[in-house]
Amino acid sequence: MGVFLIVGLGNPGETYQNTRHNIGFDVVDFISEHLQAEWKTDRFGWISRGKYKSRSVILLKPNTYMNKSGDAVRYWVNAEQIEAEQLLVIADDLALSLGQLRIRPKGGSGGHNGLSDIERALGHQNYPRLRFGIDRRFQSGQQSDYVLGKWSAEETMLVQLSIERAKAGVLLWVFQGLARAMNTVNAMPAPGTENGID
């Protein structure tokens, strides 16, 4: 089965902790905790290695800042000889409702700087990605402040529920494949309407 590389996108540093744009970091942190795998500083970021049902998993948080995420992903794809279908990138998405999740086998960046840079670095967009909805609750011209802003107290509970769902979806992808993960995760409504996968 090879190795599965799961990349959470975000920006390094305390300033960006608990911000909407860093939800990729938050999801892989939660997965790492579940796998009882420690983070270690390595090339282009932080790496956490673990096992899930006998499958080898590498988690990556690039320290290159969002718009240079591709350098980190390309390095680890090459270093670990990761096939495109065994790479999963987790990123925030303004087009989805708060906490809504979507797994796709490939696709464009949707204007996301991290995904755009990964496409540049890899030379293609044919890799799976999990998009985590952060909604679009801002006025014209305030997008940057919004995505770099921190979750409100009201949002935090829903976000944590979706982080748990995202973890379950990612591990489903690792163990049972992309089609099963897509069918399960993409059928879930936005959080707060009914229970998701455990």
pLDDT at 138: 82
68 contacts 14 by C-beta, under 8 angstroms: no
- Reading the block at residue 189, the tokens are 């409504």
Q: For 160-179, how does the pLDDT look when each residue is reduced to its tens digit (9 = 90+)?
A: 999 999 999 999 999 999 99
Instruction: Return the residue matching tokens 């014209």.
Output: 140
pLDDT at 196: 43
Distance CA 180, CA 178 (A): 6
Vertex 159 angle, CA 36 and 163, to 5°: 30
Q: At what angle do helices 178-185 and 153-176 cross, to 10 degrees?
A: 150
**pTM of the entire predicted model:** 0.94
Strand order of the β-sheet with 129-133 is 39-42, 45-52, 55-62, 3-8, 87-93, 129-133, 101-104
Domain 3-185 grouped into CATH 3.40.50.1470: yes
Would you say residue 13 has pLDDT above 80? yes
Distance CA 177, CA 53 (A): 13
Q: For 65-80, how does the pLDDT look when each residue is reduced to its tens digit (9 = 90+)?
A: 999 999 999 999 999 9
- Reading the block at residue 38, the tokens are 């420690």
Distance CA 88, CA 174 (A): 10
Asked if 21 is an active-site residue, the reply is yes
Look at 137 and 197; give whichever has higher pLDDT. Answer: 137
Rounded-to-10 torsion of CA 166, 168, 174, 180? -90
pLDDT at 198: 39
Across residues 142-161, what is the average pLDDT? Answer: 93
- Reading the block at residue 190, the tokens are 């936005």
Would you say residue 4 has pLDDT above 70? yes
128 contacts 106 by C-beta, under 8 angstroms: yes
Residue 126: what residue type? N
